[in-house]
């Protein structure tokens, strides 16, 4: 961390953005604490509607409205995401991520300090593509091996635990850094509106 760089607790960022974690295919182990919910790779907001919500109580298969991505978090940059930049490998919902292609979001990076886990702003990125990485594919195996070598995943796992890793599709999100003068995301009062403006700039 450079001198003077501001760092934040995950709760501070969550309260400022008012967002929620993007759903993941990763098995949920516990819902006892809310702190764990802050520690997701992608967060987002519910999509805003121009009109009143339409309720269809007879059709339970109506899909929920897509979420608008608000930010990304890189945990232990050299281990959890060894191919970042520009790639983030995740099990967050592929449909939601694809819906957000072209969107600009801030990135926060996890650091370890004398005061414990903290997060610093790491600029803004545009989501340029979202690709499914098939279960048991060579690309997925290469990523997992790299992640293990960097210390981001333990080798000691049961057969069932390895199946949870290799037996499901992952998603590769490509991010391109964006130079902007919008300012530090934690100092923008209406961060959602600011990101909407950034996301429309540069589009055809």
Q: What is the mean pLDDT of residues 8-16?
A: 95
The pLDDT > 90 percentage for the chain reads 59
The number of helix segments (H) and strand segments (E) in the chain equals 6, 8
Of 120, 47, 56, 111, nearest to 80 by C-alpha is 111
Q: Each residue of 34-49: pLDDT tens digit? A: 444 567 899 999 986 5
Q: What is the mean pLDDT of residues 113-139?
A: 92
Q: What is the mean pLDDT of residues 90-108?
A: 96
Q: What is the mean pLDDT of the chain?
A: 84
Structure tokens at 178: 């964006």
| Separation in Å, CA 179 to CA 28, 31, 104, 191, 198 | 36, 38, 11, 17, 10
Segment among 42-56, 87-101, 106-120 with least mean pLDDT: 42-56
Distance of CA 60 to the CA centre of its chain: 28
Is this model's pTM higher than 0.85 or not? no
What CA–CA distance (Å, rounded) separates 96 from 73? Answer: 16
The pLDDT > 70 percentage for the chain reads 80
Segment among 57-61, 137-141, 142-146 with least mean pLDDT: 57-61
Q: What is the mean pLDDT of residues 99-117?
A: 89
Q: What is the pLDDT of residue 133?
A: 97
Distance of CA 145 to the CA centre of its chain: 21
Sequence ranges of the domains in the chain: 7-47+60-130+175-200
Q: Is there a contact between 49 and 144 (Cβ–Cβ < 8 Å)?
A: no
Q: What is the mean pLDDT of residues 85-93?
A: 95
Q: What is the mean pLDDT of residues 173-184?
A: 94
């Amino acid at each position: 961390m450079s001198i003077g760089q501001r760092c934040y607790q995950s709760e501070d960022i969550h309260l400022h953005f008012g967002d929620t974690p993007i759903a993941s295919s990763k098995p949920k182990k516990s819902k006892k604490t809310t702190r764990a919910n802050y520690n997701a790779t992608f967060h987002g907001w519910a999509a805003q509607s121009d009109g009143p919500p339409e309720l269809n109580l007879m059709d339970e298969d109506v899909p929920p409205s897509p979420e608008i991505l608000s930010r990304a978090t890189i945990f232990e940059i050299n281990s959890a995401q060894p191919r970042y930049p520009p790639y983030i490998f995740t099990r967050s919902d592929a449909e939601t991520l694809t819906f957000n292609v072209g969107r600009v979001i801030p990135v926060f990076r996890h650091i370890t300090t004398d005061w414990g886990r903290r997060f610093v702003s790491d600029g803004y990125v545009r989501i340029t593509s979202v690709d499914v990485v098939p279960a048991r594919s060579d690309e997925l195996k290469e990523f997992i091996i790299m992640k293990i070598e960097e210390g981001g995943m333990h080798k000691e796992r049961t057969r069932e635990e390895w199946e949870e890793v290799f037996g499901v599709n992952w998603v590769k999100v490509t991010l391109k850094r964006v130079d902007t003068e919008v300012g530090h995301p934690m100092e923008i009062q209406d961060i959602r509106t600011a990101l909407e403006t950034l996301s429309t700039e540069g589009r055809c």
